[in-house]
Structure 1
Amino acid sequence: MRNPAPLVLSLALAAAAVFLMVRKPDPAPSPSEESPTAEAAVAEAPAAADPADRIPSPWPQSVSDIPADSDIQFGTLENGMRFIILPNDEPPKRLSVRLHIAAGSLMEADDQQGLAHFLEHMVFNGTKHFTPAELIPRMQRLGIAFGAHANAYTSFDETVYMLDLPDLSEPTLDLAFTVMRDFADGALLSQEEIDKERGVILSEMNSRDSIGYRIMKKQFQALLPDSLITRRFPIGQADVIENAQRDRFVDFYHRYYTPSRMTFVVVGDLSTDDVRQRIEKSFGNFAEPENPGGNPDLGKVETTPSTEPLVFSDAELPATSLSMMWIKPFEDRIDNRENRAEAMRLALANAMIGRRFDRLSKESDAAILEGSASSQDLFRAVTIGSVDVTVTEGRLDDAVTILEHEYRRALEHGFTEAELAEAKANVLNYYEQQVANRESRRSDSLATWIARTINERSVLSSPETDLEVAKSILEEVTPKDCHAAFLEFWKDSQPRLVMTAKEAPEDIAQQLSTRFAEAATQPVEAPEEAEVKTFAYTDFGPSGMVADRSTAEDLGITRLTLSNGITVNLKPTDFDKNRISLLARIGHGRLGMDPGKPGLAEFTDAVVNEGGIGEHSAEELRRILAGRNVGSGFGVGEDSFALSGTTTPDDLALQLQLMTAQLLHPGTRQEAIDQFRRSVPMIYQQLRHNAGGAQQKMSAWLRNDDPRFSFPEEPDTLLAYTADDILPWLAEDFTSAAIELNVVGDFDPETLEPLILSTFGALPQRPAATELPEAQRTVTFPKAPQEKEFTYQSRIERGQSMVIWKVPGPRGNEEQFRRFNLVADILADRLREEIREKLGASYSPSAQAAGSLGLDDFGFLLTASIGKPNDIPTLNEASRRIAADLAENGADEDELTRARTPMLAELEKSLRDNGYWLGTVLNGSTQDPRRFDLARHRIEDVRSITLDEINALAKKYLNSESALSVSILPVP
């Protein structure tokens, strides 16, 4: 169970991750008004700090000694709009497009706060070519599903629209390019549709609210008091959202959605010439306005802040965190070899400091749960350095000392050869894998990556070039170089000590200052060179043999039964180059757990993952495996234990040795137990103050509060567990239960087979199958109709409506469950239209079919909507009413088509996904041979589903008398 990173770990990361408003787009309204014109007032719009800086031009490679990837075509239309085209055939016959606009919330005037993001919604609400009722249905009929294939986000300095096309048919391509051009300058922005959308935006504002978000805003304001950044969070201000009129939208749209701020990114299986022609045709007559908006002055960056610690407290925070932060103005540097070398030296230094915190966090009486060091640039205006730790409860003074000492140890003594060797090995391996996996890069990921580099102005160099540059740097870099880079970054700094905590005594700032000053007077010793041991598990005895072999030729799957009874399923693939995924399925997992020990699964999961293996601690393994593509993840599944890993052909032997060693010698070291125990207060704090805690209770309630699926009410239960609680449970399955090993990916079966025989094949005899008593696969579902309330402690005014209908579970019933998935998709679309668009009561209402492949007959349909607590009864009633209408009156053929077509697109796509073959087809197929047939016929089966089948299921299961109405509510 991972600890969350400190809240002030990096404001830059916060901006990149927390504040990106990723969302499902909205439907489009009627074209009741003319397109935006220059009528809007411009007096309050930001003026350019530097007019030439408005366009991120020239291309970064034109001023760099690093060439761009020769496969990428860069171009600029006469109007100033830029484009980037990258041919890529994975997956085949698909295309991903991104429209990047170098404008976000930082460009807003005071009375436009939130309108950059609001505008992102509005371009879906009526354009030149699409009426309100057209856009979403048109996309769905072509297989473009929201969330899966269509999305958008607004950040501080950019807005990006994203479409992933399921095919290259002319109607699909025509829609994509027409939609993107409409987004650029064809939004109608009718006042009526703006007014209708206000509730959706306010609901989104509510759904994104959290204690962490509020604390982070305060941190921005305290650390950058004179910066515009602190006053331009993308979600905006409620009063502006409620009252802004059309002219303020038109002003922003006309001034900032301009060709010179736009870059069109196209990645996929289409010729460059074809794409270029379509871009020129679609955007060639897009005109730059006479008075385009400029970039704002982001304000002063204070480089000599007060030395008094900053303290932020809130009873709902999960844990105490400490940071030393250094903020300075951004220094613009071109992306070239020299600057990459400088950045890499500092990154290596930060990585080595992070590893020191890792080791300290694993000590028996550690005062920290984790720590890290980082440096980030923020919007080309601010550079932030940060050294952070998360504090073990009750150990604040000691954590202050650790933070100060490790920071100063790096400043005074630098780093060791062994530390650098480990960090270099990991970095080099990363770049080597980028080259090895080049042919497997997915178009959607590439398009998103390209879009997110535009404002960074970094060269889009090839993986081969990146590796060559990295190698040249790593071959020369020394511990002394990394020390110098760290000193250079932190020179002239006055680091600010920042604390976030559940509680903060009035004099805590003075206490922190005193403790920090005391720590600074204490000498710190140079780090010692660490010994790197040799991996101890390479010989497991005589190799086994293949007792039986069978092949499903149409699926490309070979099944081996080894002489010791272990089953091995092999699926070689060529669409994920140099990558192999492995999954060992063992025993019975959670279903075989002692029902008298609630929470034992979570305890076991955490301890085994951090406990290493017999001869090696987790820390030793990290050093031994540095630079290798090897790792073994342990998990307690519902009806099995799992060992999993992803590797390469070169490291396949070591990967199999590691997994076999973990089977024979699972780690339950006391250091891992102590580490888990230190995290328990934080776990319960999160459960107490987060909706996830209430949802966990709901999940247990759906299973009749079966202790195997419940979490202990009090932490003492978890704190009392020891290795003696884990080992008998694991030993029963790890030593005597059936094992199924599944391998999918880029491997040669003739090479792999002897490696398996010398590892898994050398294990003691196993049964072919070990069935659980049926009683252990059974839970009692709550009786309906029923209303149920679950609460959590929070002052955030956000509740959740969930309405649940019992349906037959997917275990042995997969074909029918596919139909329930379609019912859920149709219901979700109706929820969107009614609850989001008409009522404006919830930002993202959803529906899904869920169930268990381990429990017998455990399945349900669920609707979920987030809203204000007072609105939860209304949301529950609306969900029941919409579902009841579907049950009574049924869906129509168009609704079925709009649900089924995107589903088929995803099914086709998954055929080139190792995760699908590993997790859905192979995993569990030894005990359930039907999985192969289900894979063979699933697309044909989905195509065969009739409207009568869908309506019959809705009629039978979605009536109000069968509904469980659940309210998840905050309480003081």
Structure 2
Amino acid sequence: MKKAFIAICFAGLGICFATPLSAQNLSTQKVPLDPDVKMGRLKNGITYYIKKNAEPKNRAELRLAVKAGSVLENDNQQGLAHFMEHMNFNGTTNFPKNELVNFLQKIGVRFGADLNAYTGFDETVYMLPIPTDSAGLLDKGIQVLEDWAHGALLDPSEIDKERGVVLEESRMGRGAQQRMRDKFLKVILNNSRYAERLPIGKDSILKSFKPETIASFYRDWYRPDLMAVIAVGDFDVAKVEATIIQKFSSIAPPANPKKRIRYDIPLDGSTKVAIVTDPEYPQNLIQLIYKQPNSKEKTLQDVRNNFSQELYNSMMGQRMQELTQKANPPFLYGGSEYGDFLGNLDSYTSVALAKDAGSMKTALTALLEENARVQKFGFTQPELDRAKKDFFNAIEQYYKERDKTKSGNHVQEYLNHFLHDKPYMGAAAYFEFVKKHLDGVTLVEINALAKKYITDKNRAVVVMGPEKSKDALPTEAEIRKLLAEAGKDVTAYVDDVVDSPLLPTEPKAGKITGEKKLEKLGTTELTLSNGVKVLLKPTDFKNDEILIKATAKGGYSLFPDERETGIFTSYLIQSGGVGPYNQTQLQKFLAGKTANAGPYVSELTEGIGGNTNPKDLETTLQLIYAYFTEPRKDADVVTGILANQKAYLENMQKTLTPEKVYSDSLNAVLTSYNPKRKPLKPESVDKVNLDRAVAIYKDRFSDASDFVFTIVGAFKIEDIKPLIEKYLGGLPSTDRDDTFRHPSIFPPKGRIEKTIYKGLEPKSRVTLVSSGEYEYSPENNIQIEALQEVLQIKLIESLREEESGVYGVGVSESTDKFPTGHYRFSVGFGCAPENVDKLVKRTQEEIAKIKQNGADPKDIEKFVAETQRKTETALKTNNFWLDYLDDNTFLGDDLDEVFLQDKLLKSVTVESTKAAAQKYFNDDNFIKVVLMPEKK
């Protein structure tokens, strides 16, 4: 094994020497930073991080990080840290008004999806992916970052236009969650500044602040000593460094900088209890928070100690999951984990979603008892051994993919270093460190963490429930009594482990009877003696990833009178485990392996999906074979699952949220009120029959002859042929002729308008749908995709930028090939109730313009650029090829269709979009569904 080394360098002199890590005490050694990252600090205080990374090729990820967020706002600035983020997209020195978004869209960068930013309590981060394959684009991207840093124009007219957008973002965040959060936040944050400085701010300030107020925030906090520039991508590091130095060195630091106060959340040792209810909240949730001083990874000993935290979380997570796999689970969902909290704190947090208000004490007791169990008895050695295997497997995979890691992942590491003092060792150094020190982590030290994490000091309990069930919720006195008494009678954890072969008998291998090379696709098609077809696409996109997908036609559409059982079939089968292993035992058996596979039964198809690596491919194929031949029924677990599902649906029915009522109403209209598309209700669960689910599953998986397996990733075809013959060739086959029974449920013809009145907040939602018959073809598909994108661009410009009436607007399209061609266009947005009619009218005007004149040539240019850029990147991913090959095979489409894209894009013109708009924006088949607040 190679020794790990610390590199000690004298900056500026280029002198380095190395010392073996083993030669020093870990607690005295600072964490070495990845030497492949060029890190520096300009004289004015700006920090920069630069790393060359060719995944994806010809792309770079740029970030501007500012250590300034809402916690720094004055009383009259609440919301302006976030507003400032918006204004940096609304006019800077080199990109006035909306020229920034316009320029980036023309080079294929999508607003929102690619170009984006976020504001938190303590930081603001701007994100810009940029192509690097055209001269000057990277320089221009760095210019954008410089503009954000000190070149915001803050034009008063642009500020006034953006007020409406930010107010709409605020409006969309309102509801039960927000109202309840506002009640309990001060309690759990000990009335600290964080409790009164939520990033969205106050509407009253957003409506009326003076331009000078936001300019003051920008001057005070957007300054060199609080900023970092991050660039990771396919470029020349020296050139990028020179550009950053040239562009950012001229930013002058303020003469008298304001002190950047580090606000704390005080710990007073007490236990806080908050019980909050809301008439629109349908669930019963408990949070148990144990707050701790924040732990920083400053030394290698801290990194080593972090192993214990990760292992603790893994083992506790496994135990909590096991509780939900019992015949009478104490909650619908539960989890416990140690991690970052807020400000200067970490926390150990236990969460449970109770079945109903009357079960809240049961759920809380279960959380307290599991915490007490590990506190009293600790974990077991087999648990730790499995957790170590899983942890090492994950780190080993991270190491193996070190040259195939996406630039965006690296960027996050450097953001964490700048903003949160978290080190970045690099994959190679970290892997070596894990190899050297993971075995030394003992059960004693991990079990000691339970006593550190779980104490009677600095606790907070938050209970959230429906207003209607307020009287059934536990009182503060009852909660405090449970905290004092729960866990006294707990017994030690019993580790349920089975040590048996996954397959009791070896499969009877089949043979490859046909082989066809699809040279252009780089794909090989195998036909096996049992009728199974296998599409193999070896790639070098990842070093340690193999993806598998199998699909056959049929699904539960072949059992039309058993819809409810059909919907639950694959879930119930997976919950039972496979072969000799129940679900819990199977997870333990697979510890340390990347062997994930699971079956599904949908309405029209059945199949299996999985992901693995070369080392564990055989285990994964064994798992797939077992799911075909050895499905396992676990009646006790299913009883618990169905009880939980019924309780969840009962909660949703008792407290109908505006979102639920709206989505159900919209779904009913779009499906012509067809009973096969009705949402599940509590009584639906009563119709689910486990024996019939097993029978449906066995029927669908008894014949593999119509399955097509697609395998993509890091393998050699000749190497995996024997495994394919053994496991896939050994699958059962009856050679039946099978297909699905399509329900033919589409939006109704005619014009339909429906308004739903539900909700306490003054907010509305609008959905506009056009639909009709469709001739499915690549030529028509590209036109409908173009129409979707150009309308999206226009509606963002008109509804957001010009009308200031929405925060976001979505345009989607879908096309069906079976049973006959059909299309659907949807436009959706949220807004103020008083603006619904105006914004609907403006939407229809924009559609009418495209129908009359065709799309703006500039918007077509943006669509083409975005599509090309998106496809360039997608073609280098295993996920794209897995889905593409599987989908096109299922639909019977030409597998070479992907190579037609350039030709198809050239067919998108002003005239073609005009013709498409006239054809697909069908005034005869139009649906408008609107959500309005309840009438008072």
Fold shared per TM-score above 0.5:
yes
CA-to-aligned-CA distance 1:297-341 (integer Å, 9 cap, x gap): 52551331246x32122243343223332224435x343221123
The aligned residue for residue 108 of structure 2 is 143
> Bigger CA drift: 608-617 or 837-846?
608-617
| Aligned counterparts of 1:832 and 1:900: Cα–Cα separation in 2 | 18
Alignment of 1:574 with 2:551, yes or no, is no
CA distance in 2, matches of 1:226, 1:772: 59
2:522 is matched with 556
Equivalent residue for 1:482? Answer: 446
Question: Deviation per CA, 1:480-530, whole angstroms, max 9, x where unpaired?
Answer: 11111221334562534332222332872223333444435x322222344
Displacement after TM superposition at 1:903 (Å): 1.3
> What 5-or-longer segments of structure 1 have no aligned partner?
1-60
Match of 1:289, SS? coil
Post-superposition shift, 1:564? 0.4
Distance 1:284 1:769 in 2: 71
Structure 1 pair 549/323, CA: closer, same or farther in 2 (3 Å)?
Answer: same
Aligned to 1:126: 91
Aligned equivalent of 2:381: 417
Question: Structure 2: how far apart are the matches of 1:219 and 1:601?
Answer: 42
- Do the aligned residues in 2 keep the contact of 1:372 with 1:387 (CA within 8 Å)? yes
Distance in 1, matches of 2:101 and 2:397, equals 39
Inter-partner Cα distance in structure 2 for 1:174 and 1:679 = 54
> Does the alignment pair 1:699 with 2:667?
yes
Structure 2 residue corresponding to 1:678, chosen from 644, 652, 655: 644
In 2, Cα distance between equivalents of 1:823 and 1:424: 51
Matches within 5 A, 1:534-613: 534-537=500-503, 539-589=505-555, 592-613=557-578
Per the alignment, residue 362 of structure 2 pairs with 398
Partner Cα distance (1:971, 1:550) in 2: 63
Give 1:745 shift.
Answer: 0.6
* Match status 1:429 vs 2:393: yes
Among candidates 232, 235, 238, match of residue 200 of structure 2: 235
Select the residue among 742, 746, 766 that pairs with 2:710.
Answer: 742
CA displacement at 1:555 relative to structure 2: 0.9
Separation of aligned partners in 2, 1:933 and 1:113: 55
Partners of 1:544 and 1:462 in 2: how far apart? Answer: 45
In structure 2, relative to structure 1, the CA distance for the partners of 1:889 and 1:327 (3 Å cut) is same
Contact 1:320/1:501 (CA < 8 Å) preserved in 2? Answer: yes
CA distances 1:712-749 after superposition (whole Å, capped 9, x unpaired): 3x311223312133233323321136111110111111
The aligned runs of 1:105-120 (5 Å cut-off) are 105-120=70-85
Over the matched positions of the two proteins, sequence identity in percent amounts to 26
Q: Quickly say closer, same or farther: Cα 1:293–1:539, change in 2 above 3 A.
A: farther
Aligned pair partner of 2:165 in 181, 200, 214: 200
CA distance in 1, matches of 2:662, 2:572: 25
Matched AA of 1:814: P
Counterparts of 1:321 and 1:473, CA distance in 2: 39
| Alpha-carbon separation, structure 2, partners of 1:346 and 1:924 | 42
Matching residue of 1:942: 905
User: Is the counterpart of residue 653 in structure 1 residue 618 in structure 2?
Assistant: yes
Matching residue's letter, 2:666:
M
What's 1:322 paired with? 286
Q: Distance in 2 between matches of 1:970 and 1:278?
A: 53
Counterpart residue identity of residue 287, structure 1: A
3-state SS, counterpart of residue 298 of structure 2: coil
**Offset from partner CA, 1:94-136 (integer Å, 9 cap, x none):** 1111111111111111111110110011011111112224222
Q: Is the 8 A contact 1:777 1:854 kept in 2?
A: no
- For residue 129 of structure 1, give the secondary structure of its aligned residue in structure 2: coil
Instruction: Name the residue aligned to 1:752.
Output: 720
| Residue number in structure 1 paired with 2:459 | 495
Letter in 2 for 1:281: Q
Map 1:879-958 to 2 at 5 A: 879-920=843-884, 922-958=885-921
CA contact (8 A) 1:567 1:768 kept: no
The aligned counterpart of 2:23 is none
Deviation at 1:690, TM superposition (A): 5.3
Which residue of structure 1 aligns with residue 477 of structure 2? Answer: 510
Quote the residue 1:524 is aligned against: 490
Q: By how many angstroms is 1:615 displaced? A: 2.4
> 2:564–2:688: 8 Å Cα contact kept in structure 1?
no
Residue 716 (str. 1) matches residue 688 (str. 2): no
Match for 1:822 among 786, 796, 803? 786
1:214 correspondence with 2:182: no
Q: 2:422 aligns with which of 458, 461, 472?
A: 458
Please say if 1:377 is aligned against 2:344.
Answer: no
Q: For 1:120 and 1:673, how far apart are their aligned partners in 2?
A: 50
CA distance in 2, matches of 1:322, 1:135: 45
Q: Could you list the per-position Cα deviations for residues 233-280 of structure 1 after superposition, in whole angstroms to 9, with x for gaps in the alignment?
A: 111111110111111111111111111111111111101111111111
Number of equivalent positions: 902
How many Å separate the matches in 1 of 2:925 and 2:671? 17
SS of equivalent residue, structure 1 residue 966: strand
Task: Report the CA distance between 1:282 and its aligned residue.
Answer: 1.6
Return the alpha-carbon distance in structure 1 between the equivalents of residues 671 and 182 of structure 2: 40
Corresponding residue number in structure 1 for 2:305 = 342
2:15 aligned residue: none
**Residues 63 and 334, structure 1, Cα contact 8 Å, conserved in 2:** no
Partner of 2:323: 360
CA RMSD of aligned residues (A): 2.5
Q: Larger deviation: 623-632 or 866-875?
A: 866-875
Q: Could you tell me whether the CA contact under 8 Å between 2:503 and 2:579 is conserved in 1? A: no
Q: Does 1:73 align with 2:38?
A: yes
279-288 or 523-532: which moved more? 523-532
Q: Deviations over 1:339-366 (max 9, x none)?
A: 1232332332233222222222211112
Give CA deviations for 1:860-895 in whole Å, capped at 9, x if unaligned. 111111123443343333322221222122223222
User: Residue 550 of structure 1: SS of its match in structure 2?
Assistant: strand
Partners of 1:631 and 1:969 in 2: CA distance = 45
Q: CA deviation at 1:453?
A: 4.1
Q: Tell me how far apart the structure 2 counterparts of residues 881 and 806 of structure 1 sit (CA, whole Å).
A: 18
Structure 2 CA distance, aligned partners of 1:746 and 1:362? 35
In structure 2, the residue matched to 1:278 is 243
What secondary structure is seen at the aligned counterpart in 2 of 1:317? Answer: coil
CA contact (8 A) 1:79 1:288 kept: yes
Q: Distance in 2 between matches of 1:392 and 1:190?
A: 52
Kindly indicate whether the alpha-carbon contact (under 8 Å) linking 2:628 and 2:731 is maintained by their aligned counterparts in 1: no
- Residues 817 and 891 of structure 2 are in contact (CA less than 8 Å); yes or no, is this contact kept in structure 1? no
Q: Secondary structure at the match of 1:368?
A: coil
Does the 8 Å contact 2:595/2:616 carry over to 1? yes
- Name whichever of 492-501 and 476-485 sits farther off: 492-501
- The aligned amino acid for 2:128 is L
The 1-side partners of 2:418 and 2:736 are apart by 55
Conservation of the 8 A alpha-carbon contact between 2:27 and 2:299: no
Which piece of structure 1 moves more, 924-933 or 341-350?
A: 924-933
The question of whether the paired residues in 1 share the 8 Å contact of 2:267 and 2:458 is answered with no
Return the letter of the residue paired with 1:371.
Answer: G
Query: Secondary structure of 2:595's match?
Result: coil
TM, length-normalised to structure 2: 0.92
Q: More deviation in 563-572 or 904-913? A: 904-913
Deviations 1:403-438 (A, max 9, x none): 222221222211111221222221111111100111
